[in-house]
Amino acid sequence: MAMLKKVMKEYGGFQEAVDLVGEESLEKFCDRVYAGFCSEYKDAGYIKNVQWLLRHFYASKKMTLSSLFFTQTEELNGKNLKNLTFYTCYYSLFNALLSNLILTPYIDIEKIRKISHSQVFKDIENYFVRFGVYDRKLIELLNELRLTRELYSYHLPLGGSIVREGKSLSADSLFNRLEKIITPILQISNLISYMSHYAWQKKVGKGIDEYDSYQHEVDSLFFSFIESRDHLGMHCVIDDDDYARQGYVLRKWTTPFPISWFITEKMCEDLECGWEQDDSGNGFDISNVAGFLSTAIDAP
C-alpha cells in the first residue's frame, strides 16, 4: 500500500494537500520521503533518536508560528495597516515552508537551524518543486511577499501601493493567494512527520534511552534549539516554557511522532496560557491560532 493511502486510511485528513498536489504526485512524494527516512534511520542510535525528536518539535514550533502570523493577518487585513499586513503574510508563508524543510530527511541537522531567507527559495525548489509537490507559483508568491515586506519595512511607499504593478501586489491579492496555499503546506509538514514516524517504527521500532552515556552532547543539542543570542554576545535568551515543553517532548515522545498528535493540544495550549488576553477582552484572540491549526491539520 502506498504510504499516503496508509496514513489517510488510518488517520484521515490531508485532503487539501491532495487537492493541491494531486493524489499520484503526492503518493510518489510520500513514498520517496518514507524511503529517505528508512535510510536515515538505518542503524539509528540514541543521538539520532534525540535529533529527530527535536526536529519534530522544532517543526511544530514553526507551524504554530506560521499559524500565528496567518491569523494575525486575518485580523490586520483591511485595517489600513499595510506594512504590518505584508510582514505577517510573508512570515506566515516563510515559517510554513521552514517546517517542511526542518522535517526533510535529506537536510543535515546543522543546516536546518541556520536556513536563511534566500536558502528557503533554493531548498523548496530543490526538494519540493522539482518533485511536483509545489509549482513555481508558490516560489513567486514567496518572492512577492518578500519584496512587499521589504518595501514596507524599509522604503515606506508614500502612495500606499505599488502603482506600476497594479493589483497583483496589493495586500488583498497577496493575502488571498496565501489563504489558498497555507493549509496544504501545513498538512504536508504533518504528512512528512507521519512518514518519519512510520519509518522509525519499521527500522528501529522503539525509543532509545542512553542519556547517561551522551549527556554533554544531548544537552548541547537541547539548548541549541531553544536559546537565542544577541549580536554583541551580551544576552542568551531561553524561554522557560520552551525549556519545559521541549523537555516534556523528550520524556513523553520516545520516538519521532506525528505532529498532529501533539501540536494543538500541547503547543497551542502553552501559547494560549502564555499569551492570554487582559481582562478587557480587547485585542487579538490568541485562541484563533489553535482553531486555525485544528481545522488545517487535525480535522479528518
pLDDT above 70: residue 279: no
Question: Whole-model pTM?
Answer: 0.93
% of the chain beyond a pLDDT of 90:
73
Confidence (pLDDT) at 281: 65
The whole-angstrom separation of Cα 229 and Cα 252 is: 28
pLDDT above 70: residue 170: yes
Confidence (pLDDT) at 184: 97
